[in-house]
Amino acid sequence: MKKQPIYLYVLGALSLISTLLKLPNVFATQFPEIPYESTGDAQADAAIKASQEFVKGSFTIQTNMISKFLVLVMLALLIAVAVFLFKKQYETAGWIYVGYLGTTLLYQLYTFLASRHLLDLYTDETMRSVASTSLLVGFGIQLLIFAVYLGITLFNLLRKPKVSRVDSTAGTI
């Protein structure tokens, strides 16, 4: 009987939750306009306007065809992992999960690089710096989670079971 890979069930479930939470954002049909009233301070109004444009640009990046395609591929890979886990083909499920992780890395990298140009919307250097830092920190956290998931998966896929060696000379003089 093969040992069941509990780690793959746990990581797969967490990944499925994450991917399902992306679906409403990626397949949203319209940008929710947020009305605001002028504060009377030109600098504050410019910052609010730039922030709204940044969010609108992020929405455009999240809902374009590349993002939709990548999220659908991620969902299909997770379904394939579940099917192979159900069939008790654990190694195949593990390698498909590695493919899923590669796709998530590609998606994260795409959204990060596509969002970088939106920083030019901020005219105030402080706002640009804060937005850039938050974008970079978010990407760093995503990379850290990716590295942990990939490390756990590859460790379990590549480690070889210990083989006990029987000494054939035991009991002889």
Window from 8-12, 62-66, 67-71 with minimum mean pLDDT: 62-66
Confidence grade of residue 172 (pLDDT, cut at 50, 70, 90): low
Distance CA 120, CA 118 (A): 5
Q: Please state the pTM of the whole predicted model.
A: 0.80
Q: What is the mean pLDDT of the chain?
A: 84
CB 157 within 8 A of CB 91: yes
Window from 16-20, 93-97, 123-127, 145-149 with minimum mean pLDDT: 123-127
What pLDDT sits at residue 149? 95
Task: Kindly state the DSSP code that residue 164 receives in the 8-state scheme.
Answer: P
* Most confident range, picked from 53-57, 96-100, 112-116, 130-134: 96-100
pLDDT at 1 over 50: no
Window from 79-83, 87-91, 101-105, 167-171 with minimum mean pLDDT: 167-171
Confidence grade of residue 161 (pLDDT, cut at 50, 70, 90): low
Task: Kindly state the DSSP code that residue 118 receives in the 8-state scheme.
Answer: G
Give me the mean pLDDT over the 44-56 stretch: 75
What are the structural domain ranges in the chain?
A: 6-30+44-158
CA-CA-CA-CA torsion sign (129, 135, 139, 142): positive
Distance CA 50, CA 164 (A): 65
